[in-house]
Amino acid sequence: MHTVHSTPSIGLTSRPSPDVDSDLLVIPVFEDDDLGDLAGLDEASGGDIGRARARGEFRGKAFDVLVTPVRGWKATRVALIGMGPRGEFALDQLRRAAIAGGLAARQRRMTRVAIVQRSGTGLPSERAAQAMAEGVVLANFDAAPYKTTEPPVVWLEEVALRVDGESPALARAVDRGRVLGECSNLARELCNEPGNSLTPRVFADRARAMATAAGLKVEVLDETRIAELRMGLLLGVARGSQEPPWLIVLRHEPDRAIDGPVLGLVGKGVTFDTGGISIKPAENMDKMKDDMAGGAAVLGAMAAISRLRAPVRCVAVIPTTENMPGGRAIKPGDILTSAEGKTVEVLNTDAEGRLILGDGVWYARQLGATHLVDVATLTGACVVALGKTTTGLFGRPDSWVEQVRRASDRAGDRSWPMPVFDDYKELLKSEIADFTNTGGRAGGAITGALFIKEFTGDLPWTHMDIAGTAWAEDAKPYQPKGPTGVAVRTLAELALDGDSWGKL
């Protein structure tokens, strides 16, 4: 197994584009772009750019890529990255352009890259610098660490960000982007590990090491301690596996924390999900190694929160286990009792993520959380509703859900609010317990969220269903096939913006 991600050195420059020295100069280009701020570019390409545009090979459509040599410029080649209409340009497109440019360079075995912030886009230089830094770090990820026959991986080593102006704020923005990219890659690394190497015990050990390195306080509770807390939902899911469950607890306690709020993050950590007795079909079951993507996102986010000294106190809870169909596994019809004392009739053992999150959310409340966000690859129903590009948001009150949505917009993690009307609770009615663990196919993503809501008390709470967004099935110019690291940057942005929601 080789290294799966690397962080290049990232610097700032305000030199004119022709004077930026690199192997590949990445330039965002809009539809009908006259390239007026890049005088001489077409001439430097020997007319290749003009000819490619004239024949329709490159029109500036979103994430079209054209790479061509240039002469008379310090860069060896330029990569034009299509951005679509200028009027629709947004920060996330610049982040994706940086990723696409970085991937294009790595595919061509180039190690030195420069990225240009085009003038006239309306983006503040600090936000642009952060987004570009995130992008190039995200591009430095390899999703095939176990291949032994491929050529050695080429990493970006030096990156120059060509932005307007120079200031300490720009340098801080680059550092923030670098950290967010690194911590997203840490989560992607964990999600990509096969279930035989990332067992619950190994996940807990790696979480302890990552948390310690980031300056977090960390505690890992074993099965005995979990039993003492009477976490019957987590213990129930774990019964079918020979691997015991673990509960990872992380704390960020800054010296000058905002008075009052404590952000509670809870992540689903099922390191492999067979479905249990309600076993999944064999096809695509291999993807269930990433059923701990929510836990990995929370871990990566907490590392970023600590490294960036977010001003709000945070506590994270990651229950981790396997869901296996062993002889002691829970069966449909079994009754489990949660740590809070509520009883659950298990109708489908494949609806296990909400079970362990129920105990996890309850424990976050016991640890003092005042605002909750849980993250989970929870339901196929959310994929049906929103596809593979958008995370489902559920919760209450609307103002808290909106805070999380805004953080996801800044982070480039597209999300969309979904309803949690009380009418849907009828679907979770049980004849012999407080409620069931599934309400059937209709409204499946909503009833999954409402199950978790039962354990949130009266706290502001948002549930992020990342079942469709945690793994990219198809490669795109800005996203290779594999783990995406979704929600890491959202949660970190939320904590960094604690001043705006601390009194909600």
Question: How much is the pLDDT for 491?
Answer: 98
**Any idea which fold 198-501 has?**
Aminopeptidase (3.40.630)
DSSP collapsed to 3 states, 4-30: CECCCEEEEECCCHHHCCCCEEEEEEC
Please report the DSSP string for 420-464 in residue order: --GGGGGGG--SSSSEES---STTHHHHHHHHHHTTSTTS-EEEE
Superfamily for the 9-167 domain: Leucine Aminopeptidase, subunit E, domain 1 (3.40.220.10)
Question: How much is the pLDDT for 453?
Answer: 98
Q: What is the pTM of this model?
A: 0.96
Please report the DSSP string for 366-412 in residue order: HTT-SEEEEEE---HHHHHHHTTS-EEEEEESHHHHHHHHHHHHHHT
Domains 9-167 and 198-501 fall in the same CATH topology: no
Q: Which helix (H) or strand (E) holds 127?
A: helix 125-139
Residue 30 CB partners (closer than 8 Å, separation 6+): 60, 82, 83, 84, 85, 86, 89, 118
Question: How much is the pLDDT for 1?
Answer: 65
How many angstroms separate the Cα of 182 from the Cα of each of 20, 125, 204, 374?
25, 21, 20, 22
Question: How much is the pLDDT for 503?
Answer: 65
Tokens of 234: 């987590």
Question: How much is the pLDDT for 142?
Answer: 94
Show pLDDT as tens, one digit a residue, over the chain (504 residues): 678 999 999 999 999 999 999 999 999 999 988 888 888 999 999 999 999 999 999 999 999 999 999 999 999 999 999 999 998 999 999 999 999 999 999 999 999 999 999 887 888 999 999 999 999 999 999 999 899 887 889 999 999 999 987 789 999 999 999 999 999 999 999 999 999 999 999 999 999 999 999 999 999 999 999 999 999 999 999 999 999 999 999 999 999 899 999 999 999 999 999 999 999 999 999 999 999 999 999 999 999 999 999 999 999 999 999 999 999 999 999 999 999 999 999 999 999 999 999 999 999 999 999 999 999 999 999 999 999 999 999 999 999 999 999 999 999 999 999 999 999 999 999 999 999 999 999 999 999 999 999 999 999 999 999 999 999 999 999 999 999 999 999 999 999 999 888 765
* Angle of CA points 380, 346, 458, to nearest 5°: 80
Domain boundaries, the chain: 9-167, 198-501
Question: How much is the pLDDT for 220?
Answer: 98
Tokens of 45: 């390409």
Report the C-alpha gap between 238 and 325 in whole angstroms: 10
- The set of catalytic residues is 280, 354
Report the C-alpha gap between 143 and 190 in whole angstroms: 11
Report the C-alpha gap between 364 and 264 in whole angstroms: 6
Q: What is the C-alpha R_g of the chain?
A: 24
Instruction: To the nearest 10°, report the CA torsion of 254, 494, 477, 37.
Output: -90
Question: How much is the pLDDT for 244?
Answer: 98
